[in-house]
Amino acid sequence: MSRLYKNPPLIEAIFEIRFPAELSIECQRDKFYEKIRNGYPQIFVPIVVGESPSLKSYEFRSSEGKKIIRCSINRFSIHTNKYEGFAKFEEDCLKYTQLFTKLYNITSLKRTGLRYINHIPIVRVEGCIPIQKYLKFGYRLPSDLRLNKFELFDTTLITRIGEGKLKLLARYLEVPSAPQREFILLDFDYYYEGELKTGKIADYLRKSHMHTKKIFEDIINDEYKMVMEIDRTASRSLICLTFFTSYDYRLRKPLPIVIERGMNPNTLLIGNEELNKYGVGSSKEEALKEFEDFIIADYRTLRESSPEELTEDAKELLTLYDSYIEL
């Protein structure tokens, strides 16, 4: 989050303030709505079951539903799943929090929180989650126990950073409705709590972002950052593969791969022009796995063949494979 990646795993950004209950909000929500209705015309009234109606948040959404404002008598939040960089998000957060706090004369706060929710698509290796291929994060366990092949994991940490605290949730997540069903959920929530001042909201927000972006950049593996540089909207991208996602074999040097959309806009083509080998799939992960399966199977066949069985072109291809792959 220190830069605007072309293919970030971020699915939602949220900024929330909590404050002592202000009853005027309950009967004067219309005043706030009149000031934001051009940008947030859709209204969603909460369904109340077994809880005070005034504690439930009203929800105002943008026309396309990508941006949301929620408010109740003791909290206010801004949500977006169309993150266009911190500068734009900060502008919206400050604009609407200042409007809200001024309108209802809210001068003190109990908590501020900045939250970034990420879904990192994963490809299992031998049925296990290769955490280290995505995150600089893991578990230090006695090596003789061999507890390093994880099918599931779930970790929650709360740590003090600066003047606030960071709650980090990292766990396996399955989303059956998504094209890529399996993910690593990486959820950051940096917050201040105590006797806070409304006039310092901008400071709280910027520092929260500063601390969170550093942790994000430090915890994401360099190889996955390259995946984040892929422009999914472009018809063609070029990156270098530095490790196999589906095999334990090593790459001696980065392998250039082309990623482009097929004739069907829902299809991706991934391959190497020098090897003239490609994989096709409905997702990047599916196409990459097919590409890796193809070149590994082809390389094994060439390696297991006798020199007399190979044509000159096959020998050149084997030499090329040898320059990249270490079996």
CB crowding 119-153: b at 16 or more within 10 Å, else e:
bbbbbeeeeebbbeebbebeeeeeeeeeeeeeeee
* CATH entry 3.40.50 includes domain 10-228: no
| Least confident among 65-74, 217-226, 315-324 | 217-226
Say if residue 275's pLDDT is above 70.
Answer: yes
- Residue 262 has a pLDDT of 60
Q: What does the pLDDT look like over 96-115, one tens digit per residue?
A: 999 999 999 999 999 999 99
In order of 127, 144, 174, 180, the CA distances from 177 in angstroms are: 21, 39, 9, 9
User: C-alpha 250: how far from its chain's center?
Assistant: 27
- Across 130-159, average pLDDT: 83
**Helical packing angle, 284-304 and 312-324, nearest 10°:** 120
Each domain of the chain, given as residue ranges in start order, spans 10-228, 236-326
CB crowding 41-54: b at 16 or more within 10 Å, else e:
eeeeeeeeeeeeee
The one-letter amino acid code at 108 reads: S
Number of H helices, E strands in the chain: 7, 15
Please give the mean pLDDT across all residues of the chain.
88
Distance CA 41, CA 267 (A): 36
Higher pLDDT, 2 or 175: 175
Beta strand segments in 252-310, E: 255-261, 268-272, 277-281
- Residue 180 has a pLDDT of 64
Q: What does the pLDDT look like over 207-248, one tens digit per residue?
A: 999 999 999 999 998 878 877 776 656 667 888 888 888 888
- Across 259-281, average pLDDT: 79
42-44 and 154-161 beta bridge pairing: unpaired
User: C-alpha 174: how far from its chain's center?
Assistant: 14
In this prediction, residue 206 has a pLDDT band, given cuts at 50, 70 and 90, of: very high
To the nearest whole percent, how much of the chain has pLDDT over 70? 91
- Residue 261 has a pLDDT of 73
- Residue 53 has a pLDDT of 66
